[in-house]
Amino acid sequence: MTTQANKSIVSADYPTPPFAEQPQPAPGLASKMIPVPDHGEKSYRGSGRLTGRKALITGGDSGIGRAVAIAYAREGADVAINYLPEEEPDAIEVIRLIEAEGRKAIAIPGDIRSEAFCQQLVKEAVEKLGGLDILVNNAGRQQFNESIRTLSTEDFDATFKTNVYAMFWITKAAVDHLPRGASIINTSSVQAYNPSDILLDYAQTKASIVAFTKSLAKQLGKEGIRVNAIAPGPYWTPLQSSGGQPQEKVMQFGASAPLGRPGQPVEIAPLYVTMASQESSFSSGQVWCSDGGTGTL
């Protein structure tokens, strides 16, 4: 027999396509999406799973990074977020939400395509948080291109600098600050395993993140530092509407998933909590997928 409480859970009213046409210039703002994504602002409930931890999250202003920042704060962690200066309006909201939980919130805007800035980012996060236990390499660049003939070296380089080089630079700067029991979580994608024809450069970077994760887990295991990755499928974030997909695909985004819709960022945040918590103390070098039922991994 289905109780009323269970019924409300299984029939959660998340938006389904078709969606409105909604082009934005990159990097895009969550506040301008139609409908606005659910990052857990009102729905996520914490249970103290990360009490006293200190986390740095890149791309923490919107999308998955924003949902993770909210979840971490409600689980008891202090949080530093990085984002591009153009994303300040979204970032201000995240900082307010973290502080509303009585947690320390640190905003560090800047472009992670610069190695010098990546080093400064980690230094500032460690100093202002008073240490670092969790690193979430989440920021990403995705711009569709129909053909290798029109994919410029400049765009290819920008995607790799954002998605791969920055992850390397930030992690390298962070490892000497991470104690035993610390956790590094990287955001890959189902594109690493089932790449789209129009995301040639993006898919390559996400496959690289999988290899980086598995290799680094072997390096850092003896230090008691765990390294894992999460591979999202279609999630409703500004990454898609700001050039990540053609507008005709944005309008039908997530329709091909067995659940018939894109995921909302709040739906994947619990995976990042689980991988950061000591409940997963024997899980390292793993890639967890959340794709609405396609079963890519």
Query: What integer pLDDT is reported at residue 13 of this predicted model?
Result: 84
Q: Cα separations (Å) of 24 from 107, 114, 264, 265?
A: 24, 24, 19, 19
Residue 231 domain flag: yes
Query: What integer pLDDT is reported at residue 7 of this predicted model?
Result: 37
Please tell me the distance from the alpha carbon of residue 228 to that of residue 164, in angstroms, as a whole number: 15
Please tell me the distance from the alpha carbon of residue 105 to that of residue 96, in angstroms, as a whole number: 8
Residue 24 domain flag: no
Domain extent at residue 118: 50-290
Query: What integer pLDDT is reported at residue 99 of this predicted model?
Result: 98
Take residue 139 and report the two structure tokens written for it: 């920021």
- Which phi-psi region, left, alpha or beta, contains residue 181 (left: φ > 0; alpha: ψ -120 to 50)? left
Query: What integer pLDDT is reported at residue 296 of this predicted model?
Result: 67
Query: What integer pLDDT is reported at residue 3 of this predicted model?
Result: 39
Residue 3 domain flag: no
Residue 82 domain flag: yes
Residue 208 domain flag: yes
Query: What integer pLDDT is reported at residue 8 of this predicted model?
Result: 38
Query: What integer pLDDT is reported at residue 294 of this predicted model?
Result: 85
Residue 296 domain flag: no
Residue 31 domain flag: no
Please tell me the distance from the alpha carbon of residue 275 to that of residue 114, in angstroms, as a whole number: 28
Omega before 18 within 30 of 0, i.e. cis: yes
- Kindly give the parts of the chain with pLDDT less than 50: 1-11
CATH code of the domain covering residue 66: 3.40.50.720
Query: What integer pLDDT is reported at residue 6 of this predicted model?
Result: 37
Residue 249 domain flag: yes
Instruction: Just list the catalytic residues.
Output: 202
* End-to-end Cα distance, the chain: 33
Q: Cα separations (Å) of 167 from 147, 279, 285?
A: 26, 25, 16
Q: Domain count for the chain, please give it.
A: 1
Please tell me the distance from the alpha carbon of residue 99 to that of residue 115, in angstroms, as a whole number: 29
Query: In the chain, how many H helices and how many E strands?
Result: 10, 7
